[in-house]
Amino acid sequence: MKIHKTHKSLLASAGILLVTLSQSQAHISYSGRNFGTFAGGEAPVIISNQTVTGNFGWADGTDADFGDSHKMKAFRFTLTSTATVSLTVSGNAVGAGILGLNPGFTLYSGLAHLAPITNAPGSADHDFSNISQDYLNGLGGPHEGAFNALATWRVGGDNQAGPVFDYNAPDGLSTFTYIGHAVDGTAANYGNAPGIFGDGLLDGTVTGTFYNLAAGNYSIFIGGSDYASQLNSPVPTYGISATFMAVPEPSTGLIGLLGATVLLRRKRN
Ligand SMILES: [Ca+2]
Ligand SMILES: [Ca+2]
Ligand SMILES: [Ca+2]
C-alpha cells in the first residue's frame, strides 16, 4: 500500500514536471525562427522546420477574449532601412508536424523579451505571467490569452517588472504594435470578427505583402486559421513552411534622378 502511494505521487510529480517543461518551452521565443537582417534585395529566406499546435491559434486571437500565444509560433526579422516585405506561409509536413495547417499570421513592430532573461528567475514572455494577467484584467472581461491577431497587444514574463529588467518598457511588458495580417481562406474558416481580410481560397497557403516598413525589429506570429477546430480533440501538431523576402524602397533621390532624366529626354526630343 505504501509503495502504491509513493508510486502515485511520483507519477503526479512527473506529470507536473512535464506540464511545466512543455509550457516553458512554448513561451514566446524566436529560437530557430529569425529570418535575419535585411536592407532589401537579399535572396529569400525559407524556414520550413517549425510546427504549431492546433489549426486555430491565429483565428482564436481575432475575437473579444483574444487567444493563447502558446498556440502560435513567433518569427522575427530586422530591417536596416525602409523596405517592402513579403511573407508566404504554407502548411508543411515536417517531423512531428502533419500537413494540413491553414495559416494565418500577423506582422507587428517590436520584439518579445529576448533570452537570456537577465532578471533571474524571470521567464520569457507568456500569457499567464502575473504582469500579463494584470494587464489583461485592466482591459476588462475574461481573456483566453494575450494574443490579439488584429490589434496591438502586450505581454510579459514571470518576475519581469521595473526599469532594472528593461529600460525600454518600465512596466516590464513587451509591446507588439500591429501592422497588418494575412490569412488563408474565408469567413467560413476564420470566423466573422470584423476587420479580417482573408485570401479567399482555403488551400493551405497565404501571402502577405507589407509596404514601406521603417528600419527596426519586427515580429510575426503564425498560427492556424480554422476557428471552429478549437472544439476538436485531440489537437494535432501541424508543420509550417515560411518564405520571407525584403525588397528595397526606391529612394526619393533615385526617383528625382529618374524624373530629371525623363525631362531631359523630353527637352531633347
Ligand atoms: Ca477560444
Ligand atoms: Ca479567443
Ligand atoms: Ca490561400
pLDDT, tens digit, 9 for 90 and up, residues 128-171: 998 899 999 999 989 999 999 999 999 998 876 544 445 456 67
Instruction: Lowest mean pLDDT of 38-42, 209-213, 249-253, name the range.
Output: 249-253
- Supply the pLDDT for residue 250: 73
Phi and psi, residue 143, nearest 5°: -130, 135
For the stretch 195-198, contacts whose Cβ atoms lie closer than 8 Å and that sit 24 or more positions apart, written own/partner, are 195/150, 196/62, 196/150, 198/225
With cut-offs at 50, 70 and 90, classify the pLDDT of residue 119. Answer: low
In the chain, what are the helix, strand and coil shares in percent, each to the nearest 5?
Answer: 25, 35, 40
Q: Which ligand is nearest to the CA of 60?
A: 2
Mean of the per-residue pLDDT values of the chain: 84
Q: Is 23's pLDDT higher than 50? A: no
Ligand 2 center from residue 68 Cα (angstroms): 8
Ligand 2 center from residue 60 Cα (angstroms): 4
Ligand 1 center from residue 67 Cα (angstroms): 6
Ligand 2 center from residue 51 Cα (angstroms): 20
Interstrand relation of 153-155 and 174-183 (parallel, antiparallel or unpaired): antiparallel
Q: Is the dihedral angle over the CA atoms 117, 120, 123, 129 positive or is it negative?
A: negative
* Positions of E strands within the chain: 34-38, 45-53, 73-79, 83-91, 103-109, 153-155, 174-183, 205-213, 216-224, 237-248
**Could you report the per-residue pLDDT of 63-95, keeping only the tens digit for each?**
999 999 999 999 999 999 999 999 999 999 999
Q: pTM to 2 decimals?
A: 0.83
Ligand 1 center from residue 144 Cα (angstroms): 7
Average pLDDT over residues 196-224: 98
- Supply the pLDDT for residue 240: 98
Q: Look up the CATH architecture of domain 28-261.
A: Sandwich (2.60)
- Residue 114's contacts (CB-CB under 8 Å, 6 or more residues apart) are 30
* Ion ligand 3, residues whose Cβ is below 5 A away: 184, 199, 201, 203, 206
Ligand 3 center from residue 240 Cα (angstroms): 14
Domain boundary assignment for the chain: 28-261
Average pLDDT over residues 224-252: 93
Q: Is 255's pLDDT higher than 80? A: no
Q: Which ligand is nearest to the CA of 148?
A: 2
Ligand 3 center from residue 198 Cα (angstroms): 8
Phi and psi, residue 94, nearest 5°: -150, 125
Average pLDDT over residues 195-223: 98
Q: Are 58 and 224 in contact (CB under 8 A)?
A: yes
Which three three-digit cell numbers place residue 89?
506561409
Ligand 2 center from residue 20 Cα (angstroms): 23
Of 195 and 5, more confident:
195
